[in-house]
Amino acid sequence: MPDPHDPADQQPVTFVVPGQALPGGVDAAAAARGALPQPPARPGRVKAAARVAALRGAADLQRLVAVPGEDIVALHVAGGPVLYLHPANARDLLLAQAAAGATRGQAAPAPRVGAAPPPAEVAVAAALRWRGQEPGTPTRGLLGDVVLAAVEVLTGLAKDEAADFAASRVVQHVDAQVDAGLYRLTPEALGPLAGSGRKVTPAQPLAPADAPLLVLIHGTFVETASTFGKLWALYPERVRQLFAHYGGRVCALDHETLGRSPIANARTLVEALPAGTRLHLATHSRGGLVAEVLARVAHA
């Protein structure tokens, strides 16, 4: 969640949206087309909104400013849910997918890590490149990009109401997949970690050791088994070799990817480790941002 003691999480966030301004918001535009005879009840009122264009070069840029404590951000997924987020969470979410895009050769803004301030503006793309799940498979599927249809900034909410919508049902549903923490893994199988009994706790801590600890860190919208499960299923011998190399010291960080920032995720990992632990990290997608937080803090 946004840190009330972090000044960066209390600063206005500007979302740069390629597309068409929607002065009355998404519902008003739909009602004007006759597609929404009775607009549903919405939190607050629309401060600014824009429909996201599929082709960035052919669209004007709309700048939507959200003020933490006063506004929330609504991300409308095409054919799907609306994500109601605190401005800082929406910023981190979009920066995370931008960083993932950079791994495919696209330029991306530097993610916010350590003491580095977040960028003044956050670019919004139509194709967020967060993949869906293929039924019956343990890893992320290739069902197509998640398409963002519109962005709204909603205001006129009480602070507690804004917090309620920032922790929306969608966010809760996604993050409820995990019981955040560090988990011991075994070479035999990799299934869901929540409720597995392998969580590192004060009552069952990791033993200090001079040897490094390998930690797997998953990406957005998923958990460890969904991200790394095929490694166990398709390459069991390689997994056994990996465990042998690390003397069985292989763990995974299950973490919330929508309701918490990469900095908060990194803190969850650090708090579970004995002092002086040497880490080796294997990450996917947004997990790389968590790793970068750790790397920059370690070298600060």
Q: Is residue 176 included in any domain, yes or no?
A: no
Please report whether residue 2 resides in a domain. Answer: no
Pair (11, 148) in one structural domain: yes
Domain contains 142 = yes
Whether residues 210 and 285 fall in one domain: yes
Same domain, yes or no: 141 and 35: yes
The token pair at 41 is 């009840």
User: Number of structural domains, the chain?
Assistant: 2
Q: What is the pLDDT of residue 129?
A: 59
**DSSP labels, the chain:** ---TT-GGGGS-EEEEEEEEE-TTHHHHHHHHTTS-SSPPP-SSEEEEEEEEPS-GGGS-EEEEEE-TTT-EEEEEETTS-EEEE-HHHHHHHHHHHHHHHHTTT---PPPP-TTPPPPSEEE--SB-----B-TT-SSB--S-PPBEEEEEEEE---HHHHHHHHS-HHHHHHHTT---EEEE--SS-----TTSS-B-BTTBPPPP-SS-EEEEE--TT--HHHHHHHHHHH-HHHHHHHHHHTTT-EEEEE--SSSS-HHHHHHHHHHTSPTT--EEEEE-TTHHHHHHHHHHHHT-
Same domain, residue pair 145 and 241:
no
Query: Which tokens go with 282?
Result: 């294997």
pLDDT computed for residue 254 by the predictor: 97
Query: Which of 123, 139, 171 is at the close of a domain?
Result: 171
- Please check whether residues 40 and 150 belong to one and the same domain: yes
Neighbours of 34 (CB within 10 A): 7
Residue 255 to residue 69: CA distance in whole angstroms: 25
Q: Of 171, 199, 222, which marks where a domain is finished?
A: 171
Q: What is the pLDDT of residue 280?
A: 96
Q: What is the 3-state secondary structure (H, E, C) of 240-260?
A: HHHHHHCCCCEEEEECCCCCC
**292 touches 266 (CB < 8 A):** no
- For residues 207 and 294, state if they share a domain: yes
Pairing of strands 250-254, 82-85: unpaired
Q: Do 73 and 133 share a structural domain?
A: yes
Residue-wise over 38-53: b if at least 16 C-beta within 10 A, else e? Answer: eeeebbbebbbbbbbb
Residues 195 and 147 in one domain: no
Whether residue 280 sits in one domain with residue 146: no
**Could you tell me if 92 and 189 lie in one domain?**
no
Range of the domain at 66: 7-171
Write the CB contacts of 57 (distance below 8 Å, at least 6 apart in sequence): none
Domain membership flag for residue 1? no
**pLDDT by 10s per residue, the chain, length 300:** 555 556 666 789 999 999 999 988 887 766 555 544 444 555 678 999 999 987 655 568 999 999 988 888 888 888 767 777 888 888 887 887 655 554 444 444 444 444 456 687 999 987 765 443 334 433 333 334 568 899 999 988 655 555 554 456 667 777 888 999 999 999 999 999 999 999 999 999 998 889 999 999 998 778 999 999 999 999 999 999 999 999 999 999 999 987 788 889 999 999 999 988 999 999 987 888 899 889 878 775
Q: Is 207 exposed, middle or buried (0-12, 13-18, 19+ CB in 10 A)?
A: exposed
pLDDT of 83 reads 77
User: What is the per-residue pLDDT for 161?
Assistant: 53
Q: Is residue 115 domain-shared with residue 210, that is, in the same domain?
A: no
Mark whether 276 and 255 lie in a shared domain.
yes
| Residue among 114, 104, 110 at smallest CA distance from 91 | 110
Q: What is the pLDDT of residue 158?
A: 53
Of 141, 171, 201, the one marking the end of a domain is 171
User: Is the residue at 241 inside a domain?
Assistant: yes
